[in-house]
Amino acid sequence: MILAAALDTAAVLDTLAQIGNPTPEAPPMSDKILQLVRYLTWFVLLAGICAIIYAGGRFAWEKWSGGGLESPKMVAGAMIGGAVATSAGTIMNAVIG
């Protein structure tokens, strides 16, 4: 009798474990959202490249004119921002998954 109750409890727990682990499914219109995300990713990469080019030119100008060097901070900021932006999906998968 105790063994039968334990088997019934194990069967119920097994059923609950299967219910609590659903498989993910893409929502309707998710292809359009993913296309928008790809466009935004492209724009962020373009903006980062433009920022690094601008900061490099400004660095050369500051070096040539003898002014204060503010552009290395701009280069570092653009590179760090680009690294975070391009690894956003990986970061979210690590946090959520």
pLDDT in tens, 44-95: 888 888 888 888 888 888 888 887 777 788 888 888 888 888 788 788 878 8
The answer to the question of residue 65 being in a domain is: yes
Domain boundaries, position 38: 29-96
The answer to the question of residue 14 being in a domain is: no
Dihedral angle of Cα 26, 29, 35, 37, to the nearest 10 degrees: -70
The answer to the question of residue 3 being in a domain is: no
Nearest to 81 by CA among 54, 35, 45: 45
The answer to the question of residue 75 being in a domain is: yes
SS3 content of the chain, % helix, strand, coil (to 5): 80, 0, 20
The answer to the question of residue 72 being in a domain is: yes
The rounded distance, in Å, linking the Cα atoms of 96 and 29 is: 22
Q: Looking at 1-5, 33-37, 68-72, 91-95, which range is the least confident one?
A: 1-5
Tell me what pLDDT residue 39 has. Answer: 92
- With H, G, I as helix, E, B as strand and everything else as coil, classify residue 32: helix
Q: Which two tokens stand for residue 73?
A: 């901070």
* pTM summary value: 0.57
The answer to the question of residue 20 being in a domain is: no
Number of structural domains in the chain: 1
